[in-house]
Amino acid sequence: MIKTSRPFLGDDFLLETEASIHLYEKYAAPAAILDYHCHLSPKDIAENRKFQNLTEIWLEGDHYKWRAMRTNGVAERYCTGNVSPYEKFLEWAKTVPYTMRNPLYHWTHLELKNYFGITSVLDETTAKDIYNECTAALQQDDFSVQSLLRRMNVEVVCTTDDPIDALNYHQQFSKQKTNIRMFPTFRPDKAFAVENPKSYNEYLEKLSTSSNVSIQTFGDLLIALKNRIEFFDSLGCRAADHGLEFMFFDEDAKAKGSALFKKVRSGTVLDYTERVQFKCAVLIELCKLYHSKNWVQQFHLGALRGNNSRMLRELGPDTGFDSMGDFPQAQSMSRFFNELDDTNQLAKTIIYNINPSDNETFATMLGNFSLGIPGKMQWGSGWWFLDQKDGMEKQMNTLSNMGLLSRFVGMVTDSRSFMSFPRHEYFRRILCNLLGKDIENGELPDNFEWIGKIVGDVCYNNTKEYFRL
């Protein structure tokens, strides 16, 4: 037997120095989780859902795992089909050994360890025992959704919600006596998704109903969205979020908004320039409203979505067929933020990139508009394909070089799975390892009190203050 210096997933996992271990154990590990951006189901939280088996909680809707399974040659029926839960899980277990050096391998075993106390490596030979043990545990009350959140020391969850959402589950949950808080996040992408006039007009009818505004003009649209913002705000909303290819900006957007709205309302297909103008016109007005509410505005930029048209038709969006785009980002982003800053209506802002070639661009954009509020302009944590060790290290190193890591608001799960919270631990270990290695190398002083404060701020305090939590 060949001896290794460290066991897999040991207490010092990802922590290479004594300084790193100290920072993690004293300052990072005890901090509660403020998950300010995720896609968890408010219904599941409000109703305190209990999952029937491990497949249901672990593979349901997880396009990260589906993508790995497909790459490994697994038939689609085991990802999104109607085969039995155990058959799906077994195919995932067979795939796991092939995910080594993909973050899924680390996440999978962290999740088994942190939620169920299982330290066995998952593969085809251990699948049945692990499935049965976890499924049995999930039947217990202390494995309900709210219990799982408490188990992971989750203090706040901010979901992602469409403007037309009734938010009834948020209302229901707000009346419950619990130490967990849940807030909605305003995600208005469909309010300016004019690519398909038929779908867009159908959406406007729903928005009319939810806002109690008859939307006949561009001004009516803005009033309807303002009404929904007021409603979201009444339920504690702290932020808006947007999934865009790039920031839309056009000098003529404001002047042309009304005419373009009239065209699309009549069923006319807008050309590319007109679509950019309309999206910009709506988004600028929304951002002014966010500023008036002291919300945080988030922009997830650069994904190339729905690449496989056949699978998009069969399964719909967000099923594992998206990738990095290579859109120009800097100029339109600068002009968009400048338009808002020019009238002092630029809200606290987080920008996320999916393409690492944009790292330096995003990091340096922040300093142009960070005025008056500590860390006002934020570069978000490694997102989607970048929320892994290499992506996180590059993001934090670039932020350190070109901004202030100490003002960073840290990690989010950006997940639909209640099993994803160990991603915060993963991030925290990587953060502590970066700082700990610098201390060991003499690149930072051994002032653990101050550097430990930075760790605590990045993991918890900065987020709490930034989002008013």
> For 406-442, how does the pLDDT look when each residue is reduced to its tens digit (9 = 90+)?
999 999 999 999 999 999 999 999 999 999 999 999 9
Out of 2-11, 283-292, 359-368, which region has the weakest mean confidence (pLDDT)?
Answer: 2-11
CATH of the domain at 460: 3.20.20.140
Whether the per-residue pLDDT at 4 is higher than 80: the answer is no
CA 218/CA 197 separation, integer angstroms: 15
Q: Is residue 109 part of a domain?
A: no
Give 243-285 as a 3 state SS string.
Answer: EECCCCCCCCHHHHHHHHHHHHHCCCCCCHHHHHHHHHHHHHH
Helices then strands, counting H and E runs in the chain, come out as 20, 10
Structural domain span for residue 196:
18-49+144-466
The count of other CB atoms within 10 Å of the CB of residue 62 is 21
This prediction's pTM: 0.96
Grade residue 2 by pLDDT with cuts at 50, 70 and 90.
confident
Q: Which residue has tokens 């998950």?
A: 35
Could you give the CA distance from residue 115 to residue 58 in angstroms, rounded to a whole number?
12
Two structure tokens written together for 199: 């779908």
pLDDT in tens, 30-60: 999 999 999 999 999 999 999 999 999 999 9
Give residue-wise pLDDT tens across range 56-72: 999 998 999 999 999 99
Residue 60 lies in a domain: no
Number of domains in the chain: 1
Q: What is the pLDDT of residues 330-349, one digit of tens each?
A: 999 999 999 999 999 999 99
Average pLDDT score over the chain: 97
Please give the pLDDT value at position 21: 98
Cα–Cα distance between 309 and 197 in angstroms, integer?
A: 19
Tell me, what's the pLDDT at 5? 79
In a domain, 104, yes or no: no
- The arithmetic mean of pLDDT across residues 303-324, rounded, is 95
Residue 350 domain flag: yes
Give the pLDDT confidence of 127-148 residue by residue, as tens digits.
999 999 999 999 999 999 999 9
Instruction: Determine, yes or no, domain membership for 130.
Output: no
Token look-up 């299982």 returns: 118
Q: What are phi and psi of 202, to 5 degrees?
A: -65, -40
- Report percent pLDDT > 90 for the chain: 98
pLDDT above 70 (res 1): no
Kindly state whether residue 461 falls inside one of the protein's structural domains: yes
Residues 101-127: pLDDT tens digits?
999 999 999 999 999 999 999 999 999
CB under 8 A, 24+ apart: contacts of 66-71: 66/319, 66/320, 67/320, 68/95, 68/98, 68/99, 68/102, 68/104, 69/95, 70/320
Does any domain span residue 127? no
Residue 3 confidence (pLDDT): 72
> How far apart, in whole angstroms, are the C-alpha atoms of residue 247 and residue 302?
9
Would 280 be classed as within a structural domain?
yes
Mean pLDDT of the region 3-16: 90
